[in-house]
A and B are shown apart, each in its own frame.
Chain A
Amino acid sequence: QVQLVESGGGVVQPGGSLRLSCTVSGFTFSDYGMHWLRQTPGKGLEWVAFIRLDASNKYYADSVKGRFTVSRDNSKNTVFLHMNGLREDDTAVYYCAKPGRRYGYRDYYDFWGQGTLVTVSS
């Protein structure tokens, strides 16, 4: 069955960095682009970033552009979110998600990880 497992969340001070990982199984990872999303009680669900199946293109929400970088290692079935310059409003549960369609940039999400909590606080 399809599984997505995130790791790497934690508590970090403003201006700090974290790297989130999402390792998948149950489908051919290299056939799909992958998304990162986040959720807060105040702003709800928000799309964060997308990476194409071959990493040829990457897209970011305006709120994280220039601070976050998405990458992937198809040999390890893993997608990463490198977060720099963290701010208190980046505090959220971060999810990786598989799109429903192979090239799925503008797409729905048919499988999600369990989420990892990132807390930015001094």
Chain B
Amino acid sequence: EIVLTQSPGTLSLSPGERATLSCRASQRVSTSLAWYQQKPGQAPRLLIYGASTRATGIPDRFTGSGSGTDFTLTITRVEPEDFAVFYCQQYDNSPGTFGQGTKLEIK
């Protein structure tokens, strides 16, 4: 089973700042990596798939990059509605696995 390690565990930023979230895989997953945002009491929402393709309706301030074992989700200017927990997920190998999450909180 592929283990995904996300860093940092918590990221404290002010609105308007740039957010950089990392996800490292224990084995290569090519570009079979997705990012999700989850707010309290809600289901995860797909942001990025294929490591860098934005899902329908996702603002272009969200950018995914990387391949192989190292991936990054960047939010160029954090908006108030962006504060949430973010998860990466690999789907190169079965079972698909998730990282433990990065909490983006208001500083």
Write out the residue numbers on chain A whose beta carbons fall within 8 Å of the beta carbon of B56.
110
Chain B: minimal CB distance from A79 (Å): 16
**Which listed residue (A44, A106, A112, A113) contacts B94, Cβ 8 A?**
A106
Chain B: minimal CB distance from A87 (Å): 19
A contact residues, total (Cβ < 8 Å): 19
Write out the residue numbers on chain B whose beta carbons fall within 8 Å of the beta carbon of A47.
95-97
Q: Does A11 contact B (CB under 8 A)?
A: no
Write out the residue numbers on chain B whose beta carbons fall within 8 Å of the beta carbon of A46.
98
Known pairs A44-B98, A45-B87; A114 contacts B43 (CB<8 A): yes
Known pairs A44-B100, A95-B43; A108 contacts B95 (CB<8 A): no
Q: Does B10 contact A (CB under 8 A)?
A: no
Contact with A along B88-104 (1 / 0, CB 8 A): 01011111111111000
Known pairs A108-B34, A110-B55; A45 contacts B98 (CB<8 A): yes
Write out the residue numbers on chain A whose beta carbons fall within 8 Å of the beta carbon of B96.
47, 106-107
Residues of B whose CB lies within 8 Å of any CB of A are 32, 34, 36, 42-46, 49, 55-56, 87, 89, 91-101
